[in-house]
């Protein structure tokens, strides 16, 4: 049972959270202006790196706020968490 540090509440058990996939994928400004391929890129395609990955989490059984985290996908370690709207912080490469 991993501890995930909510930027609003502090460390809480992972069962209180749910996962929201890759972070910093903005909804396009003008979806109608995109080609099918560009739109499909937004809808269906996500990165799947081994290593640090910025992703979204929601503290669904706590404060119900969305936030972002950088997690090392190889170790599951959460390298940092930050609030929605904040830029991705630099994290030391493990």
Partner 1 sequence: MTAPFRLPGRGLVDQGTDLEFSFDGRRYTGHPGDTLASALLANGVHRVATGIAYRRPRGIMSAGVEEPSALVQIEEPFPEPMLQATTVELYAGLVARGPAGRGRLATAADPARYDAVHAHCDLLVVGAGPAGLLAALAGARDGQRVVLVDDQPRPGGSLLGTAERVDGLPGPEWAAGVVAELAALPDVRVLSRTTAFGHYDDDFVLALERRTDHLGFDAPAGTSRQRVWRLRARRTVVATGAHERPLVFPDNDRPGIMLAGAARTYLHRYGVLTGRQAVVFTTDDSAYAAATDLVDAGVTVAAVVDARTTVPEAWAEQCARRGIEIRAGEVVTGTSGSERITRAHTAPYAGGRLHGPRRGVDCDLLLVSGGWNPVAHLYSHARGALHYDPARGAFLPTGDLPNLRVAGAANGRATLADCLADGAQAADAPASTRASIPVSAPVPATEPVPDQTPGLVLWSVPDPAETDGGEPRPRFVDLQRDATVADVLRATGAGLRSVEHVKRYTTIGTAHDQGRTSGVIASGIVADALGADIATLGTTTFRPPYTPVAFAALAGRDRGALFDPVRVTPLHAWHTAHGAEFENVGQWKRPRCYPRPGESMDRAVLRECRAAREGVALMDGSTLGKVSVQGPDAGELLDRLYTNLISTLKPGAARYGVMCGVDGMVLDDGTVIRVAEEEFLLTTTTGNAAKILDWMEEWLQTEWPHLRVTLTSVTDHWVTVPLVGPDSRAVLAAVAPDLDVANAAFPFMTWRDATVAGIPARICRISFSGELAYEVNVRGWEGPRLWEALIAAGEPYGITPYGTETMHVLRAEKGYPIIGQDTDGTVTPQDLGLGWAVSRKKPDFIGKRSFTRAENLRPDRKQLVGLLPEDPSLRLPEGAQLIATAAVPAPPVPMLGHVTSSYRSAALGRTFALALVKAGRERIGDTLYAPLEEGVHPVRITDPVLYDKEGTRRDG
Residues that bind partner 1 (CB under 8 A): 1-3, 14, 20, 26-27, 30-32, 34, 36, 39-40, 42-44, 56, 58, 60, 64-66, 76, 84-85
Q: Which does 84 bind (CB under 5 to 8 A by kind): partner 1, Zn ion, none?
A: partner 1
Which of Zn ion, partner 1, none lies near 63, with the C-beta cut-off 5 to 8 A by kind? Zn ion
**Cα angle 53, 9, 69; round to 5:** 5
Q: Report the distance separating Cα 69 and Cα 89, nearest Å.
A: 9
* CB 12 within 8 Å of CB 62: yes
Residue 14 as a binder of Zn ion (CB under 5 A): the answer is no
């Amino acid at each position: 049972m991993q501890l995930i540090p909510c930027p609003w509440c502090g460390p809480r058990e992972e069962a209180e959270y749910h996962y929201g996939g890759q972070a910093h994928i903005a909804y396009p400004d003008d979806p109608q202006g995109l080609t099918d391929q560009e739109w499909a890129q937004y809808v269906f395609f996500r990165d799947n790196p081994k290593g640090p990955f910025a992703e979204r989490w929601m503290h669904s059984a706590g404060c119900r706020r969305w936030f972002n985290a950088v997690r090392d996908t190889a170790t599951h370690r959460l390298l940092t968490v930050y609030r929605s709207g904040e830029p991705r912080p630099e994290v030391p490469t493990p």
